[in-house]
Amino acid sequence: LMLLLGIIILSSYLIGSVNGGLIISKLQGLDIRTKGSGNAGATNVLRVIGIKSGVLVFIIDCLKGFLALYFTQVLITNTNNPLDLNIDLYLYFSSFASLLGHCYPVWFSFKGGKGAATGLGNILFINPFLITLPLIVFIGTLFFFRYVGLSTITAFLSLFIFGYFSIGFSDYVFLIYLFLLFLFIVFTHRTNISSMLDKTEHKVSFFK
């Protein structure tokens, strides 16, 4: 049933395209992509508009990553026909489709965020236990280096490593998914990487 996979990819992409940063900033009368770093993610919203809006955007972007996979599971469980693929594969396709929707939203001229919160929402649905270590790594990296981008990349790398040590090769497809997720995050944060190397990347200040 490649039709089912097509519906899952399209619906997940459209759910992912509902961009929290753009909606919240438009309600404030501005386009977040023209301010700060020009990114439509929670970090830039937090920096430009404020903490309340930033947290709200993070929750929206995380929630849609969760909902895209939830909707996929509902579609799978309600289909009467035998599935062509393993159930997990449908979830992984759904995950990447929602991430593409977030980063390249059809409603907002394909310019969105970087996928970290949406990716977190995806993992919360697939295996919430795996979030624990990456969260500690994120906070630790942010505290020591004060770069959100670097903290995000290391968190997703630790997610892959933690996945490997907790699951092993018993579910190698899931490990491939986690590794591709890490590569996706590295790709969307490529401008952060180059500006960190140039020492022009914005540092978070905890004590103003």
Each as own residue / partner, the long-range contacts of residues 195-198 (CB below 8 Å, 24 or more positions apart, any chain) are 196/147, 196/149, 196/150
pLDDT score recorded for residue 129: 94
The rounded distance, in Å, linking the Cα atoms of 150 and 193 is: 8
Q: In angstroms, how far is CA 174 from the centroid of its own chain? A: 17
pLDDT at res. 169: 78
* Phi, psi (deg, nearest 5) at residue 91: -65, -40
Could you tell me the end-to-end alpha-carbon distance of the chain, in angstroms, rounded to an integer? 56
As a 3-state breakdown, the chain gives helix, strand, coil percent values, each rounded to 5, of 75, 0, 25
88: tokens are 């997990």
What is the percent of the chain with per-residue pLDDT over 70, rounded to a whole number? 98
Residue 57: C-alpha distances to residues 54, 90, 119 (Å): 5, 26, 14
Per the confidence metrics, is the pTM higher than 0.85? yes
Residue 35, SS3 per DSSP: coil
Considering only residues 122 and 112, tell me which one the structure prediction assigns the higher pLDDT. 122
Query: What is the reported pLDDT for 29?
Result: 92
H-helix or E-strand spanning residue 158 = helix 148-167
User: pLDDT tens for residues 14-45?
Assistant: 999 999 999 999 999 999 999 988 888 999 99
- Give the integer Cα–Cα distance in Å for 13 and 2: 16
pLDDT of amino acid 144: 94
Give, as one character, the DSSP assignment of residue 128.
Answer: G
Q: What is the pLDDT of residues 157-203, one digit of tens each?
A: 999 999 999 987 788 999 999 999 999 999 999 999 999 999 998 88
pLDDT tens-digit readout, 121-164 = 999 999 999 999 999 999 999 999 999 999 999 999 999 999 99
**Residue 2: is its pLDDT beyond 90?**
no
Q: pLDDT grade, residue 79 (50/70/90)? A: confident
pLDDT at 73 over 90: yes
Statement: residue 208 has pLDDT above 60: no
Q: CB of 144 within 8 A of CB of 138?
A: no
Query: What are phi and psi for residue 173, nearest 5 degrees?
Result: -65, -40
In the prediction, which pLDDT does 151 show?
96
* Mean pLDDT of all residues belonging to the chain: 93
pLDDT of residue 184: 98
* Cα–Cα distance, 180 to 177 (Å, whole number): 5
Q: How many helices (H) and strands (E) does the chain have?
A: 10, 0
Closest by CA to 21, choosing from 133, 142, 105, 128, is 105
The stretch 68-97 carries a mean pLDDT of 92
Q: Identify which of 167, 78, 99 has the alpha carbon closest to the alpha carbon of residue 129.
A: 167
Q: Above pLDDT 90, what percent of the chain?
A: 79
Q: What is the pLDDT of residue 170?
A: 83
> Which has more pLDDT, 111 or 157?
157
